[in-house]
Copies of this chain bind each other. A is one copy, B any other.
Amino acid sequence: MSQSVHRAVTILVACAANPRRLGELADELAVHKSTALRLLQALEEHDFVRRTEDGLWAIGFGFTDVAFTALDGIDVRAAAHPWLRRMVRELGHTLHLAELSGSDVVYVDKMEGHGAVRMKSRVGAVAQTHTASVAKVVLAFAPPELREAALASASFQKFTPTTITTPAALTREFDEIRERGWAVDDGEFEDYINCVAVPIRGHTGAVVAGLSLTALRAIEPLAELKQHIPRLTHAATQISRELGWDGHKGLDSQPVT
């Protein structure tokens, strides 16, 4: 269904990776140059693609504009953004905001800390289920069927000695997270990076997002990083209230006994 839309999307994805010539795009789509050209022209009218100085096709700024507009519209993001800014200023570390989408946890905001720590995360990308603290904290409080789906689709790829590599272990981790109310990433993806994460609740009391704090182990070891959890929790609570949470714990937050 809707062949040209598929082709248009494929073009956009290809151009995002790196700008290309008309001919290349036509080859990748297995269509004639003329067909590719007309799709590009249609996209160009909306500034979804643009021609670079050297005649290549690249993603247009109308496209990125739409993306940012959409991100602004995400109320969790809007509610959390001032808090991210404040906490980066106070703590100096990188903060992430991630939202539950289906059984994935997707980064919707990110604010870099003062140190020139470059994290591989990117807004719009899916957080690793078995390593990212923000994914773990959100899924820990998610409905069981979502958690099952997430467990089933997780890669469990071993990145470091501390990486959780089995569904059983991750299930136990989820239980612990629910009990104590926050999650950690103890160098489970990159062994020199630690994170702590806390849940954010929507108006129904269900956990809809997560907020995490990231630091280099060398700069602030996990034990010290944990001392910021009260501050992180405070921010998360305020954000939750702004989303309409009445302050009562959601049903899913009860410790599993």
Contacts and interface: CB of A to CB of B under 8 A. Distances in A.
Interface of A: 1-2, 4-6, 8-9, 12-13, 15-19, 38-39, 41-43, 45-46, 48, 50, 52-54, 58-59, 61-74, 78-79, 81-83, 101-102, 104, 106, 114, 116, 122-126, 143, 145-146, 203, 242, 244
A66 B16 contact: yes
A16 B62 CA distance: 12
A99 to B, nearest CB: 9
A64 B109 CA distance: 11
Contact of A124 (B61, B74, B81): B61
| Copies of this chain assembled into the complex | 2
Contact of A242 (B48, B52, B146): B52
Given A43-B5, A46-B13, A53-B82, A64 B124 contact: yes
Contact of A2 (B6, B12, B41): B41
Interface of A is mostly: helix
Given A2-B38, A2-B39, A4-B4, A64 B67 contact: yes
A105 to B, nearest CB: 10
Q: Which of A58, A61, A104: most chain B CB closer than 10 A?
A: A61
